[in-house]
Amino acid sequence: MLSVISSKCLAMPKPFLSPLNDAVFKMLFGDSRDVEPLTNFLKSALSIPAEDYEEVTLADPHLAREGWDDKLGILDVKLKTRSGRVIDVEIQVSNQRDLRQRIVFYLAKMVTEQIGEGERYQTIQPAICILIADFTLIEENSSYHNRYRLHDAQSGSEFTDLLEINTLELPKLPKDDGTTLWDWMGFLKAESKEELDMLAEKNPEVKKVVAKLMTLSEDERTRMLAESRDKMRWDMDSRERAAREEGLEKGLEKVARNALKRGDSIEDIAELTGLSIEKIQALMLH
């Protein structure tokens, strides 16, 4: 009896890792020894004076917790510029139910952690979030780049520039619009080596990151790490769907218990389920 093997099973794996994998993204853009790829990407996406990137410091991606019951925030890439601006770059490949609330929470934390007791509010610097989404988040328009600040709904006057959210949606990416931002988005979205080669030929800054990606893709340990992160995300997505069917809170607790048994870290479980650290620790005792 002949067995039938699908062409999908026979397909060769892609010759390069996806930059949308959070582990790979951090290696490409979160390397303190080489901040040039990150600053070049930021220059294409944000309206910030170029000289502010002359001094960039990658920060601890864990947001500060003020109380024992505070949620722990983990950002993909977090940095400070020369003037003190705090910038968070987030990658999301699936539209989580509380994504907008979580981004606002992270942004608020990035402001409040800047000052301690007795310090002046005037020292607060802008907090900026860049959300790269592999799905359509903003249904109201077809623009792949949206920038949100605090404005008056009627007059349009700006209240402050201390809070800013930029959304970059890959499914909305049009044909080449001639911008460097499009080049970077094309790099993140690329599905073939040919696409990467064309982008590398077109943009010398992207070319450097393409070379770095190919080097990482040849490293067996890096591939294993990326595959592990993908598997964890797939498992979490699958279990979250099951959780919705059997009751959200109980379902998420079940997801957390299974993840604990598998050996996932408490921080990763908290990030992906929305449960507090204390709740997960309590589950470990029962």
Residues 95 and 131 grouped into a single domain: yes
pTM of the model: 0.72
Tokens 């408490």 locate to 266
Is 1 inside a domain boundary? no
* Residue closest to 164 by CA, chosen among 129, 137, 205: 129
pLDDT at 13: 52
Q: Please identify, among 218, 233, 263, the residue that sits at the C-terminal boundary of a domain.
A: 218
CA distance 219 to 222: 5
pLDDT in tens, the chain (286 residues): 333 333 434 444 567 899 998 889 988 998 888 899 999 999 999 999 989 998 988 875 543 334 434 333 344 788 999 999 999 998 888 887 788 998 999 899 999 988 886 788 999 999 999 999 999 999 999 999 999 999 999 999 999 999 999 999 999 999 989 999 999 999 999 999 999 999 999 999 999 999 999 999 998 888 888 887 777 766 666 666 665 555 567 778 888 888 888 888 888 888 878 888 888 888 887 7
- Within-domain flag for 5: no
Q: Tell whether 7 is covered by a domain.
A: no
Is residue 28 located within the same domain as residue 159? yes
In a domain, 252, yes or no: yes
4 lies in some domain? no
Which residues constitute the domain of residue 146?
14-218
Q: Which residues of 198-235 are buried (b: 16+ CB within 10 A; e: fewer)?
A: ebbeebebbbebbebbeebbeeeebeebbeebbebeeb
pLDDT of res. 189: 94
Amino acid at the residue 177: D
Q: What is the distance between the alpha carbons of residues 216 and 95, in angstroms, rounded to a whole number?
A: 27
Nearest to 48 by CA among 94, 83, 3: 83
Report yes or no: 95 and 133 within 8 Å, Cβ to Cβ.
Answer: yes
Q: Are residues 36 and 152 in the same domain?
A: yes
Residues 163 and 189 in one domain: yes
- What is residue 155's three-state secondary structure? coil
* 198 and 177 belong to one structural domain: yes
Instruction: List b or e across 110-125, with b for residues whose CB sees 16 or more CB atoms inside 10 angstroms.
Output: bbebbeeeeeeeeebe
* 43 & 176 share domain: yes
Co-location of 160 and 185 in the same domain: yes
Total domains in the chain come to: 2
- pLDDT at residue number 269: 84
Say yes or no: 71 and 202 in one domain: yes
In a domain, 24, yes or no: yes
